[in-house]
Chain A
Amino acid sequence: MNNNDKNVRHNMIKRVEAKDDGRVLIYYTFESSDDIEHKESLRKETDKGAQPKGLGD
């Protein structure tokens, strides 16, 4: 088994809810490096005033 992914970043998204009886319920989802880098590239293009690819078409 290879440890090729040791530098991957994971951005955690946490959604906290309450069940009907008051118990806490938490959903965890993640964005990995690829998702994060794609979002960062969109943000940079938006900051420069350019139309981000894939938006507004």
Chain B
Amino acid sequence: MSEMRWNPVMGEWVVTATHRQDRTFLPPAGYCPLCPTAEGGFPTEIPEPDYDFVVFENKFPSLKREPGEPAVEGDDLFPVKPSLGICEVVLYSSSHTSTLADVPLPKMQQLVRVWKDRYEDLGSRPEIDYVFIFENKGEAIGVTISHPHGQIYAFSYLPPRVERELTNEAEHHRKTGRCLHCDILKREVADQSRIVVESDHFMAIIPFYARYPYEVHLYAKEHRGSMSEFSEEEQNDLAYVLSVLLKKYDGLWGFSMPYMMVMHQKPTDGADWPGCHFHIEFYPPLRTPEKLKYLAGCESGAGTFVNDTLPEDKAAELRAVKV
């Protein structure tokens, strides 16, 4: 069963997707559903014997192209609606043991084009208001299949955290006539202490208000609302700075850093959104090589993050990692 239930207390939708309880969970070596199908082997999601990049619709989607009617009847207090949307899986490599940090630069440049194509393709559908590209990496995040892959959720509405960000961007733009993120970048350039890596067209910082110790936001330096506005050179440059950042993460403690990576860009709902500015946010859950930053009572119940570190110190650590 799959449906969307309205939470009138928080003013947001919750997706129920009971079929996901049965999804593949940490399959043994040799039975990865995201590897290519080997000759004489069991059939995986990908029938071909090899691939560069593959995108396919998730077998256990939270949102569905044809969701059907909700199993329960809604009313004024508890509205429900079909869980309309599309969930895709993006395979970065046919190699089971690699990670995004291992992807060579030319291939990373190609992956940026795959992401751009998915943003434009899914976003062109009238029922899709927001294309959310992300990656959960590592068992610490709850990844159920270790094969290197990302995901895309194409929402039929603006998800709440994104909507909150868009509201604040629009308010800043209304008050000042400027982009909030462009103002933040100007401040970071003047300060310098929170910059992790910078290239011709992109800059990665640990924001002044970071919630996680090693949270990094990777920005287009020029005002760009979405990947659709990137030139060829900017697409290649994004691949470069992304590669450097991921290698710095892995180089920090000498092992593959778990993280959540999420892309924030312009909604595809047809509105203008002049304050929206493309960026990628990384939330690594570790605060030391052995200790997790838990989302405990204060974070989960009050919505206030307590960061046990200073962004300026953590940015200096990442900046010092040679790649």
Residues of A within 8 A of B (CB): 1, 3, 5-10, 12, 14, 19, 23-30, 32
Query: With an 8 A cutoff between CB atoms, is B127 at the interface?
Result: no
Question: What's the minimum C-beta distance from B216 to chain A, rounded to whole angstroms?
Answer: 17
Size of B's binding interface in residues, CB under 8 A: 30
Chain A facing B: main interface SS: strand
5 intermolecular pairs with C-beta atoms under 8 Å apart: A3-B237, A7-B232, A7-B236, A24-B55, A27-B53
Q: Which 9 A-B pairs have CB atoms at the shortest separation, nearest pair first? A: A23-B57, A28-B53, A3-B240, A25-B56, A26-B55, A30-B110, A6-B236, A29-B52, A24-B57
**CB neighbours of B48 from chain A (8 A):** 27
User: How far does the alpha carbon of A28 sit from the alpha carbon of B116 in the complex, in Å?
Assistant: 12
User: Quick one: closest A residue to B53, CB to CB?
Assistant: A28
User: Quick one: closest B residue to A3, CB to CB?
Assistant: B240
Query: With an 8 A cutoff between CB atoms, is B105 at the interface?
Result: yes
User: How far does the alpha carbon of A19 sit from the alpha carbon of B256 in the complex, in Å?
Assistant: 33
User: How far does the alpha carbon of A12 sit from the alpha carbon of B200 in the complex, in Å?
Assistant: 24
Query: With an 8 A cutoff between CB atoms, is B151 at the interface?
Result: no
Known: A1-B243, A3-B240, A28-B114. A8 touches B52 (CB 8 A): no
Mark interface residues in B94-136 (1 if CB within 8 Å of A CB, else 0): 0000000000011001100110010000000000000000000
**CB neighbours of A1 from chain B (8 A):** 105, 240, 243-244, 247, 323
User: How far does the alpha carbon of A5 sit from the alpha carbon of B55 in the complex, in Å?
Assistant: 25
**CB neighbours of A5 from chain B (8 A):** 105-106, 109, 236, 240
Question: What's the minimum C-beta distance from B248 to chain A, rounded to whole angstroms?
Answer: 10
Known: A28-B52, A29-B52. A12 touches B240 (CB 8 A): no
A23 and B117 contacting across the interface, CB-CB below 8 Å: no
User: How far does the alpha carbon of A28 sit from the alpha carbon of B106 in the complex, in Å?
Assistant: 14
CB < 8 Å: which of A6, A10, A23, A29 contacts B59?
A23
User: How far does the alpha carbon of A5 sit from the alpha carbon of B40 in the complex, in Å?
Assistant: 39
**CB neighbours of A29 from chain B (8 A):** 52-53
Known: A27-B48, A30-B110. A9 touches B56 (CB 8 A): no
B56 and A28 contacting across the interface, CB-CB below 8 Å: no
Query: With an 8 A cutoff between CB atoms, is B54 at the interface?
Result: yes
Query: With an 8 A cutoff between CB atoms, is B299 at the interface?
Result: no
B54 and A25 contacting across the interface, CB-CB below 8 Å: yes
B199 and A3 contacting across the interface, CB-CB below 8 Å: yes
**CB neighbours of B57 from chain A (8 A):** 19, 23-25
User: How far does the alpha carbon of A8 sit from the alpha carbon of B59 in the complex, in Å?
Assistant: 35
B113 and A6 contacting across the interface, CB-CB below 8 Å: no
Question: What's the minimum C-beta distance from B88 to chain A, rounded to whole angstroms?
Answer: 8
User: How far does the alpha carbon of A1 sit from the alpha carbon of B241 in the complex, in Å?
Assistant: 10
User: Which of A6, A7, A19, A27: most chain B CB closer than 10 A?
Assistant: A6
User: 8 Å CB contacts to A: which residues of B69-111?
Assistant: 88, 105-106, 109-110
